[in-house]
């Protein structure tokens, strides 16, 4: 009996070593590209091109960040992107969460039909041209609201939140509230929402990340540079630097290529670090919300 126990413990130790080794390798594969971008943004482009940059910056320089942050369009883009993210996240929560809660109620008439309509939009849509014409007819073209209103509804977010409400809010709680004279709206605002911090955080994070990274809608529906989000401005700066480097000759071309390479890595850091800093504050809710809202049911 003692020998069997020792064997099992030995096998467990070997299994744990293998498991932790695999997890460490996967973590390294995931994190190293981001770490490389960070050290490359502080390194000499020639050292990056030659493969000399591996674990630490080579030829430390801040020229990429200096060249990038000296452009006034970057600050305009930051301002616009922060505004789009905050307003878009609030609107996304305001339209998706109530819809998900309503669809989670079994007493909702036509619930299955309505859910089918939402699911249908995940596979089929009107296309770019009809959407563009609709946005234009609604008077949203080239305005602030075109970035936050037309695409606020997300069928996927509604499905995840609906599953959360179905599995996490006991029906007995609603019945007890109704016995005490609590109406649907009051129950939703005073009981359902306070008990749903996890899914609210998940939907808020998904919506905020989508808004922060969005550039295609701005490319199609915006014409004023004063309304451009950060991602579109970064794209334009990158294209301009690459074209300038391609058109140059001799030493001027080399300097332009060096500048374009530094700016490229710096742009990735400047545009991703702010939104990444949000995650640690809602991580505890994020993990719980994903597991309950997307796995159960």
| Per-residue pLDDT tens over the stretch 183-211 | 888 888 888 888 888 888 888 888 998 89
- Asked if 159 and 118 touch (Cβ cutoff 8 Å), the reply is yes
Cβ neighbours of 137 (radius 10 Å): 9
Q: Is the pLDDT of residue 17 over 50?
A: yes
Cβ neighbours of 43 (radius 10 Å): 23
Give the span between the Cα atoms of 235 and 218, in whole angstroms: 12
Region 101-109: what's the mean pLDDT?
87
Q: What is the pLDDT of residues 219-242, one digit of tens each?
A: 899 988 888 998 888 888 777 766
- Asked if 229 and 215 touch (Cβ cutoff 8 Å), the reply is yes
Question: Which DSSP symbol is given to 282?
Answer: G
Give the span between the Cα atoms of 148 and 91, in whole angstroms: 7
Q: Is the pLDDT of residue 285 over 80?
A: no
Q: Where is average pLDDT lowest: 81-85, 132-136, 181-185?
A: 181-185
Enumerate long-range contacts of 10-18, CB under 8 Å, 24 or more apart. none
Contacts of 110 (CB under 8 A, 6+ apart): none
pLDDT band at 272 (very low <50, low <70, confident <90, very high): confident
Measured CA to CA in angstroms, residue 287 lies from 62, 139, 185, 196, 213 at distances of 37, 40, 28, 13, 22
Q: Where is average pLDDT lowest: 40-44, 157-161, 287-291?
A: 287-291
At residue 290, the pLDDT reads: 55
At residue 283, the pLDDT reads: 66
Q: Is 146 exposed, middle or buried (0-12, 13-18, 19+ CB in 10 A)?
A: buried
Q: Is the pLDDT of residue 109 over 90?
A: no
Q: What is the pLDDT of residues 47-72, one digit of tens each?
A: 777 777 788 788 787 877 887 778 88
- Asked if 118 and 155 touch (Cβ cutoff 8 Å), the reply is yes
Of 261, 212, 215, nearest in space to 238 by CA: 261
What percent of the chain stands above pLDDT 70?
85
Measured CA to CA in angstroms, residue 84 lies from 21, 26, 73, 280 at distances of 42, 34, 16, 21
């Amino acid at each position: 009996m003692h020998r069997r126990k020792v064997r099992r413990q030995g096998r467990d130790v070997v299994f744990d070593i293998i498991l932790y080794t695999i997890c460490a390798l996967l973590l390294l594969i995931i994190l190293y590209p981001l770490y490389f971008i960070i050290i490359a943004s502080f390194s000499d482009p020639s050292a990056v091109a030659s493969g000399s940059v591996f674990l630490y910056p080579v030829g430390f320089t801040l020229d990429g960040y200096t060249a990038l942050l000296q452009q006034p369009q970057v600050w305009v883009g930051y301002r616009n992107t922060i505004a789009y993210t905050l307003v878009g996240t609030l609107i996304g929560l305001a339209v998706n969460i109530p819809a998900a809660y309503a669809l989670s109620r079994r007493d909702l008439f036509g619930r299955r039909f309505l859910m089918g309509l939402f699911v249908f939009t995940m596979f089929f849509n009107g296309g770019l041209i009809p959407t563009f014409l609709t946005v234009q007819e609604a008077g949203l073209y080239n305005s602030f609201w075109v970035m936050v209103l037309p695409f606020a509804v997300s069928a996927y977010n509604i499905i995840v939140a609906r599953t959360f409400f179905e599995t996490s809010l006991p029906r007995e709680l609603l019945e007890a509230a109704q016995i005490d004279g609590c109406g649907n709206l009051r129950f939703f605002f005073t009981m359902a929402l306070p008990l749903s911090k996890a899914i609210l955080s998940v939907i808020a994070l998904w919506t905020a990340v989508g808004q922060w990274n969005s550039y295609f809608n701005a490319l199609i529906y915006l014409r004023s540079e004063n309304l451009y989000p950060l991602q579109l401005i970064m794209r334009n700066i990158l294209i301009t630097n690459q074209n300038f480097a391609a058109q140059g000759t001799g030493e001027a071309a080399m300097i332009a290529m060096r500048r374009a390479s530094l700016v490229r890595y710096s742009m990735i850091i400047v545009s991703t670090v702010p939104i990444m800093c949000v995650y640690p504050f809602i991580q505890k809710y994020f993990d719980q919300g994903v597991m309950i809202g997307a796995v159960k049911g």
